Amino acid sequence: MPRTFHVELRRCEETNVFVATSPDIPGLVVEAETVGGVMDAIKECAPHLIEDNLGLESDDGYAINVGYVSAATPAVSRSMSVEIPLVA
């Protein structure tokens, strides 16, 4: 079974940009003005960070699950999960 990495997506109310971080992928902090921009940044950065920091390659088979965390209910993650296919 492939390993799944979790990424949390939030909208920063101060700067009005989307920010993604991960407790599973050391060093992953990306931001963009749109959700699509953040997703593109995750696709670009995550494989390199996983390989460099965790020693896994995309051939090892893993998934990245992105969940949106609402500022209104920080303890509850909204149901926006997307698996990002990674292409080496």
- Evaluate whether residue 10 is within a structural domain: yes
pTM: 0.77
Instruction: Please report which confidence band the pLDDT of residue 75 belongs to, taking 50, 70 and 90 as the band edges.
Output: very low
Give the model's pLDDT for residue 69: 87
CATH number of the domain residue 20 falls in:
3.30.2390.10
Range of the domain at 70: 3-83
- Evaluate whether residue 15 is within a structural domain: yes
Does 82 or 51 have the greater pLDDT score? Answer: 51
- Evaluate whether residue 88 is within a structural domain: no
The residues that bridge with 84 in the sheet, in sequence order, are 64
Q: What is the tally of structural domains in the chain?
A: 1
- Evaluate whether residue 78 is within a structural domain: yes
Does 30 or 75 have the greater pLDDT score? Answer: 30
pLDDT exceeds 70 at position 22: yes
Residue type present at position 35 = V
Q: Can you say whether the dihedral through the CA atoms of 70, 71, 73, 74 is positive or negative?
A: positive
- Give the SS3 label for residue 78: strand
Token reading at 76? 């509850």
Does 61 or 81 have the greater pLDDT score? Answer: 61
